[in-house]
């Protein structure tokens, strides 16, 4: 198998593009896909300051690496969720990466904000803290991102196409309307972008392993994600038989998205913190109140 660009020995075959590539040209391919997404969806430019939400997982590490090597101005943001060894190890990875490439990394601790971490929140959420954890991450990343031109997250093509698949299966039109690689700035909501949307899980992992980038190898102990994994595995099976389906599915949706518009959601500032919400008080402030009534802090 020869590299289609230079004829040297190829190390990977990408069936979706009918493309075999050597190491050098694979790295270039990944960077080009990210650059393509940035330009196609008008995410940001080289003068903008980008906050990269880094979890220590392969996606956010690859995202940060690619953006930095393409010459974008990036700062990392790591939120320590207080999940014992998992959070400690993830933070070490983010710090190691920042140090290696001499990049700025901002770190916040959930315990400083709420007095508790995700394990305590799990106790008041019947052992299933993921939806609350997702809300907390969105809130804190958004707040940190307000000082930047955009917040970049590591959502990839598998994440986006499986979410889309689920939303279509259940005809969740409101979610379809909001699914986008770019969410514009709106008062207290930072601009959000997903530069990895044109790359699959496999392509991102292959890049991280090829360049020996550090990333957390095990899952959060609270991770279940059964439905998401199921949708991903169904799409993977379709992709095996019909290479290129995932990217066509996702891009086709974006081109036809206008047909899925839902009634405009009225967002107003939270009475306590100013974060835009549909309620009087946002979910984060309500969680804070709930925690202070359930936990006694010394
Ligand atoms: Fe949070 Fe759940 Fe992800 Fe763990 S698996 S980091 S609890 S959302
Ligand atoms: Zn080559
Ligand atoms: Zn609030």
User: The CATH number of the domain where 43 resides is what?
Assistant: 3.40.50.620
Q: Which pair of structure tokens corresponds to residue 77? A: 């943001």
Give the Cα separation of 106 and 141 in Å (integer).
Answer: 11
The three-class DSSP label of residue 40 is: helix
Closest CA to 92 of 126, 62, 54: 54
Identify the residues whose C-beta falls under 6 Å from ligand 1.
81, 118, 129-130, 133-134, 220, 222-223
**Is residue 208 assigned to a domain?**
yes
pTM, full prediction:
0.94
Domains held by the chain: number:
1
Assigned domain for 70 exists: yes
**Residue with the nearest Cα to atom 2 of ligand 1?**
130
- Spatial contact of 234 and 165, defined as CB atoms under 8 Å apart: yes
Instruction: Evaluate whether residue 64 is within a structural domain.
Output: yes
pLDDT band at 296 (very low <50, low <70, confident <90, very high): low
Measured between alpha carbons, how far is residue 3 from residues 12, 14, 27, 29, 200 in Å? 9, 11, 12, 12, 20
In a domain, 31, yes or no: no
* Between 275 and 293, residue with greater pLDDT: 275
Which listed ligand is nearest to 226 at the C-alpha? 1
Per-residue pLDDT band for 260 (boundaries 50, 70, 90) equals confident
Q: How far is the CA of 279 from the centre of ligand 3 (A)?
A: 10
Residue found by looking up tokens 């650059």 in the block: 35
Q: What is the pLDDT of residue 265?
A: 77
Q: What is the pLDDT of residue 193?
A: 98
User: Which pLDDT tens digit goes with each residue over 136-148?
Assistant: 999 999 999 999 9
Q: For atom 7 of ligand 1, which residue has the closest CA?
A: 130
Percentage of the chain lying above the pLDDT 70 cut: 99
Helix (H, G, I), strand (E, B) or coil at 157: helix
The answer to whether position 20 is within a domain reads no
Half-sphere exposure in the Cβ direction for 241 (13 Å, CA): 5
The two tokens of residue 221 are 């102990």
Q: Give distance in angstroms: CA of 11 to centre of ligand 2.
A: 9
Is 1 part of any domain? no
pLDDT band at 128 (very low <50, low <70, confident <90, very high): confident
Nearest CA to ligand 1 atom 6: 220
What residues have a C-beta under 5 A from ligand 2, the ion? 3, 5-6, 22, 25
Confidence at residue 133, expressed as pLDDT on a 0 to 100 scale: 96
Q: Which ligand is nearest to the CA of 7?
A: 2
Take residue 64 and report the two structure tokens written for it: 């940060």
Asked if the structure places residue 158 within a domain, the reply is yes
Assigned domain for 81 exists: yes
Query: What pLDDT digit, counting tens, does each position of 27-83 carry?
Result: 999 999 999 999 999 999 999 999 999 999 999 999 999 999 999 999 999 999 999
Pocket test for ligand 1, best of 118, 119, 221 (most atoms within 8 A of CB): 118
- Rounded to the nearest angstrom, the distance between the alpha carbon of 20 and the centre of ligand 2 is 8
Contact criterion met (CB below 8 Å) for 110 and 136 = yes
Q: pLDDT confidence of 298, banded at 50, 70, 90?
A: very low
Domain that holds residue 240: 38-216+225-294
- Determine phi and psi for 262, rounding to 5 degrees: -115, 165
Predicted confidence band of residue 218 (pLDDT cuts 50, 70, 90): confident
| Average pLDDT value for residue range 268-272 | 96
């Amino acid at each position: 198998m020869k590299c289609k660009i230079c004829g040297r020995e190829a190390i990977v075959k990408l069936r979706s593009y009918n493309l075999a590539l050597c190491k050098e040209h694979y790295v270039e391919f990944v960077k080009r896909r990210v650059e393509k997404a940035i330009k196609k969806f008008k995410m940001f430019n080289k003068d903008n300051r980008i906050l990269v939400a880094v979890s220590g997982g392969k996606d956010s590490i690859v995202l940060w690496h690619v953006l930095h090597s393409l010459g974008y101005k990036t700062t990392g943001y790591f939120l320590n969720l207080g999940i014992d060894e998992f959070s400690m190890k993830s933070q070490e990875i983010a710090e190691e990466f920042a140090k290696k490439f001499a990049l700025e990394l901002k770190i916040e601790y959930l315990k400083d904000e709420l007095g508790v971490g995700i394990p305590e929140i799990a106790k008041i959420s019947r052992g299933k803290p993921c939806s609350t954890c997702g809300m907390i991450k969105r809130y804190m990343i958004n707040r940190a991102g307000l000082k930047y031109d955009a917040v970049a997250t590591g959502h990839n093509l598998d994440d986006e196409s499986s979410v889309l698949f689920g939303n279509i299966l259940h005809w969740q039109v409101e979610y379809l309307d909001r699914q986008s690689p770019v969410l514009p700035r709106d008062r207290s909501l930072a601009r959000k972008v997903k530069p990895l949307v044109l790359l699959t899980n496999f392509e991102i992992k292959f890049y991280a392993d090829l360049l020996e980038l550090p990333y957390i190898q095990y899952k959060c102990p609270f991770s279940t994600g059964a439905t998401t994994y199921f949708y991903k595995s169904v799409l993977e099976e379709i992709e095996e038989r019909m290479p290129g389906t995932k990217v066509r599915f996702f891009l086709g949706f974006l081109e036809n998205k206008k047909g899925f518009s839902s009634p405009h959601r009225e967002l107003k500032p939270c009475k306590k913190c100013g974060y835009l919400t549909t309620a009087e008080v946002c979910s984060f402030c309500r969680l804070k109140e709930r925690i202070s009534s359930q936990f006694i802090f010394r």
